[in-house]
Amino acid sequence: MISLDVANSDIVKAKNQISEFEKIDAGSWRYTNVEAWRGVVCEFKTSEWLDQEFNLEIKAKGLDTSGIVDEFDVVVNNKKIEIKSATKNYFKYIMPKTHDVLSYPKDYLIASKYDETTSPNKVKIIGFLNYSVLKDFPIKKNKGAPYFEIPIKAFIPIEKFKSEIYLT
């Protein structure tokens, strides 16, 4: 697992993106009591780490206020990658929406976790899965759209990603 420090500027940037996103129609349905900004921080920090390791072809941009659904978060070695996160340290699952997984296929899913229990807070990059296996996980529904419930322990350690991404 890779552990990255979260700076106050990372939090401010993410909260500003959430605020702007909530002004458009796509952002008007946001759940209450969800600290979505942590997911944005995870996406950016994970993208920064991936860029240092792999020299990304396309970097994460976070939330898009244009209303256009992004088809992926980053691209490495011509492979489309989605970054999903658990926004609390004690969360045990990554939960990508079934609609997004089925409608916008990618090559890999990378999981990260926001750790608010440390000072400074951390983003932990957990691991990866081939996108084709996501549909093998159970579908659940709580609060909103159905999602795949993927246990964090199911992810292949991120340290093995380099050999994976260049072999395929």
Structural domain spans, the chain: 2-167
Q: Give the CATH number of domain 2-167.
A: 3.40.210
Instruction: Read off the pTM.
Output: 0.86
**pLDDT tens by residue, the chain, 168 residues:** 899 999 988 888 888 877 776 676 655 555 555 578 898 899 999 999 999 988 877 677 666 655 555 677 788 888 999 999 999 999 999 999 898 899 888 999 999 999 999 999 999 999 999 999 999 999 998 877 899 999 999 999 998 988 887 665
Spell out the residues 6+ positions from residue 109 whose beta carbon is closer than 8 angstroms to its own.
81, 82, 83, 84, 94, 96, 128, 129, 131, 134, 150
